[in-house]
Structure 1
Amino acid sequence: MTDSAGAIVAGVDGSESALRAVTWAAAEASARKLRLHLVSCFDPALGYYGAGLPMPQEAFDAVEKLAEDRLAEAAEIARDVDGDLVATTERVRVSPVPFLIELSRVARMIVLGPTGRGGFGGMMTGSTAVAVVAHSECPVVIVRGDEPASGPVVVGVDGSPTSVKALGAAFEEACRREVPLVAVHAWSDYEYVTAVPVEYAVLDLEPAEEEQARVLAESLAGWQEKYPDVPVERVVVKDRPRHQLLDWSAKAQLVVVGSRGRGGFQGLLLGSTSQALVHRAQCPVMVVRP
């Protein structure tokens, strides 16, 4: 395994969405003065037909040649972004999900396209991207949208420990990009009512808007002191968090969220808000795990 410590890692599978992700990752690596590590995986299980019959050697060789060509193409795309960028490549014959999760233990960031060569029609996000977002130990960016949009960095805030980590990442991104940060605190998710006894639905269990504003202010306090030059717009609104963040993704250049928020259930690796953004955001989405 090539040393990926401290690098930005981008997955390459030959799909157009993966190549767009490579372009985004190369720009990020260039801006951060980091190495870009491009990886391509071949699941050994795909080397067999039905009944366990192995793939003919000539077919296997053709797949390997295509993968190597795609890696070379991705490296060329990265060099077009920055001729001085250090970009390394790696082709491994292992399943992509466990391999990328292993790399996430030392990488600075994992960057993936929303759908890959193995995606099925009708799926908005490939299974590899979803699984890596759910288990990665470093931030994962799913590069959605045809072109990186101009605009602010947007972050979802709910007072949970994971959203505090997301805030730190969002401030860093806004500071480096020299753009404003929009901190969104939306606290009403009516679908939650369907998961609790009906008598709770008639109770007003939601704190007042002043209390919600206090949650956001307390979450921002330390970070605003650390990044005094980042303009911050506070959005406190009674709405479903994913609706607000999906709306903001149409005018943001990056949306940052924690993998699970305050309303998450024990055992869930991804909350409903991060799931929705990974599947439907209109700009790149960074998911920060604990």
Structure 2
Amino acid sequence: MPTYPTNDPHRLATAAVVVGVDGSEASDLAVRWAAETASQHNRRLLIVHGLDLAASAELLGIYEVMAPPVIDTMRQRGVDLVTTARRLAYQVDPTLTVETEVSEANPARLLIRRSETAYLVALGTAGHGAPIGYLGSIMLAVTSHGRGSIVVVRDTGTEQRTRRVGPVVVGLDGTRHSEPAVAAAFAEASERRTQLVAVHAWGDLFFDRFAGVPYTIPDNDAQIAGQAIIAEQLAGWSEKYPDVQVIRKVYLFGPRRALTDWSGSAQLVVVGSRGRGGFRGLLLGSTGNSLVQRAHCPVMVVHAK
């Protein structure tokens, strides 16, 4: 097993699985997934809801102080939401340690702050093809600016539950940005007792959309070179996790397409928080950005420490 720095707050025994709720079906799905994860990892579950009082005050035209009845109503709704979510969590595992928090803070800022010491942060999002609205903006903010592992629990609109069979899939871009994702993916595959599929695509462009351009790599030399990149990024991890069978896949173009396709049978897709370019200011790579909006299973975005 790999050793982690003793000062890593995400690996402390006290680090909780954190899930944000807003009362939607998507957040209910995230609560169930988070409760299952907390149960498997023997960790406490923290259910949080942000009231965003400042934004509500501005919306209502109340700039100094909101009327106490309005605040009381918002608080009570928040309490009702986390209470309902706690009941959902106990349905998954009645022995879970479940805590709740209703905060005046903006939901995204609340989850980002909690991510600094959480084992992971989970949140739900709307189904495939849904527009990026309020929920979506929170999701993008947290996946971009959070710390540690942020999991977007995808609601595809068909299952209303997450998949518990199939491999863990990790996207490798051939750079150091993939290293935290590799560590997390091996740990998840071992915990879930399933295979790990390591996916590498030579190029980010979607040339596979055009007729006559192959999606896979027919050239043996290119395939060998791609496999070498994967082997380098996975070096040492199979020895640390001998129980995890690794399948290596190389594609010519389109990591987003490859990983989205694999998400149709995977129980979890893991990616780094930045693309292979590592552009300054681009906190979530294009592949990760696409996956959290379109994947068919939960997506874990892993931020470097």
Q: TM-score range by the shorter chain?
A: 0.7 to 0.9
| 1:242 aligned partner | 256
Q: How do residues 176-195 of structure 1 correspond to structure 2 at under 5 angstroms? A: 176-190=191-205
Structure 1 segment 55-70 matched on structure 2, within 5 A: 56-70=67-81
Structure 1: any 5+ residue segments left out of the alignment? 193-206
CA contact (8 A) 2:126 2:154 kept: no
- Whether the 8 Å CA contact 2:168–2:267 is kept in 1: the answer is yes
* TM-score, reference length from structure 1: 0.87
Aligned letter for 2:137?
S
Residues in 1 aligned to 2:186 and 2:57: alpha-carbon distance in whole angstroms: 45
Report the CA distance between 1:263 and its aligned residue: 2.7
CA distance in 1, matches of 2:98, 2:60: 38
SS at structure 1 position matched to 2:236: helix
- In 2: Cα distance, 1:222 partner to 1:49 partner: 54
Q: Distance in 2 between matches of 1:266 and 1:55?
A: 39
Residues 1:289 and 2:299 are matched in the alignment: no
**CA-atom RMSD in angstroms:** 2.1
1:25-48, Cα deviation, whole Å (9 max, x unpaired): 000000000000011111122134
> Percent identity at matched positions?
46
> Contact 2:174/2:229 (CA < 8 Å) preserved in 1?
yes
Distance 1:285 1:246 in 2: 10
Q: Kindly indicate whether residue 137 of structure 2 is the aligned counterpart of residue 127 of structure 1.
A: yes
Question: Is the contact between residue 14 and residue 67 of structure 1 (CA under 8 Å) also seen in structure 2?
Answer: no
Aligned residues of 1:139 and 1:289 also touching (Cα < 8 A): yes
Other structure's SS at 1:59 match: helix
Residues paired across the two proteins, number? 269
Q: Secondary structure at the match of 1:112?
A: strand
Worse-matched range after superposition: 142-151 or 45-54: 45-54
In the alignment, the residues of structure 2 paired with residue 90 and residue 16 of structure 1 have an alpha-carbon distance, to the nearest angstrom, of 19
Change (3 A) 1:64 1:50: closer
Q: Which runs of 5+ in 2 are unaligned?
A: 1-12, 208-220
Verify: 1:106 aligned to 2:121, yes or no.
Answer: no
Counterparts of 1:117-156 in structure 2, within 5 Å, are 122-123=131-132, 126-145=136-155, 146-149=160-163, 150-156=165-171
Partner of 1:17: 26
Question: Greater shift after overlay, 100-109 or 280-289?
Answer: 100-109
The 5 A counterparts of 1:152-167 are 152-167=167-182
**Aligned mates of 1:84, 1:255 — CA distance in 2:** 28
